[in-house]
């Protein structure tokens, strides 16, 4: 008998403080799922059961997974800087604790949220699929630890847990305090660079499409467990065009700063060392470095993905185009005065 995870199921969502996690949790509630969220601060979400705590707290993790049917694991340390140990604690050990608690509590279905960066070694990805995560080839602490976490999650399939891996790529749109707001803020201040010609083709994912895909993945998880799928709009755009479009939606001028990829990578490596030194001396910083080697690679190499397997497995197609998403972003910022 075909089994789906339908409304009425009990679902734990970690990482609901971010745009994607918050949006998925809200949609689940609206669709009739019983949602629990695990996070350190109050969620401000209506209709959810809230467990305050972190992935570093085994007791909180155990409470959160109790009596759940499925888990959507989005919580992660996402940054281009910071101590490697901090990434290990959240992304690797935190995932391990959550998997252990989920299986001990009888959870049968686990949707693990990863990133295409776990299989990106700095070279162009052209029409790529979701190849196996490679911690040794991944660039930077975030990608390396997320790669390890993904491998740990996938291995649980051998012990009876249904695991589906989804890798959303560059989610953007209204409410995004990460990619979208940083592009706009840096463009306004003249600090948003275009590397090389800006012609490298890059796939991205508009937030509404991401939420639709996650709901589809959760519902069909028992049928497609064991797969790893990259999620994008399926509309590769030149990176310079996309950055300019997001900046324009926020009322910012088109970026004029141009750097060669080689110069940006070299400068990024130097900035990373100096940033790390300053954090060791003065403690963690609230801002992000203006350039890193990883960021330079992301801005100068193609990374777009074949979406045929993803769309077939999820029975999903994006409903909001890039151009429509940019218009929705522009209208949101004009109405609210903010990306958030």
Which residues carry out catalysis? Answer: 142
Q: Angle, nearest 10°, between helix axes 293-300 and 261-282?
A: 150
d(CA 66, CA 48): 15
Element (H, E) at 99: helix 94-104
CA-based R_g, the chain, Å: 19
d(CA 337, CA 114): 32
- Which residues, at least 6 apart from 170, have a Cβ–Cβ distance to it below 8 Å? 179, 202, 203, 204, 205, 232
Contact criterion met (CB below 8 Å) for 320 and 328: yes
- Which residues, at least 6 apart from 49, have a Cβ–Cβ distance to it below 8 Å? 34, 35, 36, 37
């Amino acid at each position: 008998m075909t089994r789906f995870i339908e409304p009425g199921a009990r679902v734990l969502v970690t990482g609901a403080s971010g745009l994607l996690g918050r949006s998925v949790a809200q949609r689940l509630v609206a669709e009739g799922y019983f949602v629990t969220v695990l996070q350190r601060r109050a969620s401000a979400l209506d209709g959810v059961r809230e467990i305050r705590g972190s992935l570093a707290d085994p007791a909180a993790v155990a409470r959160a997974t109790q009596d759940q049917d499925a888990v959507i694991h989005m919580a992660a340390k996402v940054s281009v800087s910071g101590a490697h140990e901090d990434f290990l604690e959240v992304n690797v050990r935190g995932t391990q604790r959550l998997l252990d608690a989920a299986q001990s509590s009888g959870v049968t279905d686990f949707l693990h949220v990863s990133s295409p960066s776990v299989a990106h070694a700095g070279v162009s990805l052209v029409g790529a699929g979701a190849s196996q995560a490679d911690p040794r080839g991944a660039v930077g602490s975030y990608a390396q630890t997320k790669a390890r976490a993904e491998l740990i999650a996938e291995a649980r399939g051998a012990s009876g847990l249904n695991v589906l891996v989804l890798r959303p790529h560059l989610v953007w749109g209204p409410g995004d305090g990460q990619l979208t707001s940083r592009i706009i803020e840096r463009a306004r201040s003249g600090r948003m660079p275009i590397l090389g010609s800006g012609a490298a083709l890059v796939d991205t994912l508009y937030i509404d499409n991401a939420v639709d895909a996650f709901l589809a993945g959760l519902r069909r998880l028992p049928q497609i467990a064991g797969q790893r799928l990259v999620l994008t709009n399926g509309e590769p755009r030149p990176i310079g065009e996309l950055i300019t479009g997001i900046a324009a939606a926020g009322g910012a001028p088109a970026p004029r700063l141009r750097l060669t990829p080689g110069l940006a990578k070299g400068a990024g490596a130097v900035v990373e060392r100096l940033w790390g030194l300053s954090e060791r001396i003065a403690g963690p910083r609230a801002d992000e470095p203006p350039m890193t080697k990883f960021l330079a690679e992301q801005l100068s190499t193609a990374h777009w993905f074949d979406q045929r397997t993803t769309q077939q497995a999820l029975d999903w197609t994006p409903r909001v185009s890039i151009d429509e998403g940019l218009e929705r972003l522009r209208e949101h910022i004009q109405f609210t005065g903010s990306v958030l």
